[in-house]
Amino acid sequence: MFKKNILFLFITLFHFTIVFAQNANDTINRIDKNTGKKYGYWIKKYPDGKIKYQGRFENDKPDGEFKYYYEDGKIKAISVFKNKGARSFTKTFYPNGKLMSVGYYLNEKKDSLWKYYNEYDVVLREEFYKNTLKHGEWKTFYPDGTLTDKMTYKNGFREGVWEQYYVGGSLKTQFKNDKLEGAYTVYFPTGKLKYQGRYKNNKRDGIWFWFDSNALPIKRFTYKDDILKTKEFVLYENKKPVNIKFDSIAYIFVKSSVVYLKKMDGKQVQLTEKFVFITDVLGEDNFLLINKNFFANMRTIKSISPFEEKYFKVEITPQPDFDVISEEESSKALKAMFNDFKFK
């Protein structure tokens, strides 16, 4: 019995000696009294007591591995600091533990290669930095890993070729000193030209062409210092291009499955392209789709009169040899144009 008591006392004293030694040398959340700087092992907690981050400081600078946590305790990020905290290699994680991003920091700013992932381990973006400035080739990817955007930077500025790929086609242009400069070309998904022009000092300049499915110019705009000077529709007579200014077009219509263009001067031209394509080419800035077969320059619309319950008979100049009846959506626009008109 006496031996057991001696053994118990020895174990107890040994335990207290260890605890006392740990407390005496414990460096958790220490601040130097003279400098006010952090040193040693630190643990920062959320209000509920769960750990927010943990790691070591040396002279107020993070040193070695730091771990950061979500409020539920799962790892949010891991950083390994070197060079007195000036440089770090960092990984961030989604709440489910999957890698979100990986890269370097230099003086708390991104440096070198950075990669970003979705929750299916697919790279979504690659970035390059040099001396904390954007530098080198940047890439963006679709969730399936297909390239969608590629851009080159030089010392923080966009410089060189920019390529973009999307469902409706692709784009290729270039930058000089962070400004668009030179050819700007957009392609259909087939690889054929969709439209093309040039930039000068970040402004559209010169002639821009839009192309049809046969790679023939169908629309011709002229810019000067990014200001649109002329808008022309390109027709082909005997395989030769004929430019018609938008303002000279009265309307486009379909009759007996044939598409026609009527000019302000009354001249009429038969078109080979589909009606939907032509309306898309002309756009809706100055034109109104009155019904599925009639697309009018709004300058030609002179008046409206009620037709059935919510529709209008539209008076057009020059007047076609058939009645032009509005559809529901265009009726709303026409009513707004002639806001003094009231239904009976």
The rounded distance, in Å, linking the Cα atoms of 198 and 39 is 59
pLDDT score of 24 more than 70 = no
| Segments forming the whole domain that contains residue 80 | 25-97
The phi and psi torsions of 100 (rounded to 5 degrees) equal -100, -45
Q: Examine residue 310 and state whether it is found in any structural domain, yes or no.
A: yes
**CATH number (domain holding residue 81):** 2.20.110.10
Q: Examine residue 262 and state whether it is found in any structural domain, yes or no.
A: yes
Instruction: Give the Cα-Cα-Cα angle 105, 111, 117 (nearest 5 degrees).
Output: 85
The phi and psi torsions of 137 (rounded to 5 degrees) equal -90, 125
Number of domains in the chain: 2
Q: Which of 97, 130, 158 is the last residue of a domain?
A: 97
237 versus 6: which is more confidently predicted? 237
Burial of 324 (0-12, 13-18, 19+ CB in 10 A): buried
Record the pTM. Answer: 0.74
**CATH number (domain holding residue 313):** 2.40.50.1020
Residues 233, 249 contacting (CB under 8 angstroms): yes
In which band, very low, low, confident or very high, does the pLDDT at 344 lie, cut at 50, 70 and 90? very low
Q: Examine residue 147 and state whether it is found in any structural domain, yes or no.
A: no
pLDDT score of 39 more than 50 = yes
Q: Examine residue 252 and state whether it is found in any structural domain, yes or no.
A: yes
Q: Examine residue 9 and state whether it is found in any structural domain, yes or no.
A: no
What pLDDT score was predicted for residue 327? Answer: 93
Q: Examine residue 312 and state whether it is found in any structural domain, yes or no.
A: yes
Q: Which of 77, 97, 117 is the last residue of a domain?
A: 97
Q: Examine residue 339 and state whether it is found in any structural domain, yes or no.
A: yes
Q: Examine residue 256 and state whether it is found in any structural domain, yes or no.
A: yes
What pLDDT score was predicted for residue 342? Answer: 52
Q: Which of 97, 115, 150 is the last residue of a domain?
A: 97
Give the closest residue to 260 by CA, choosing from 290, 287, 294: 294
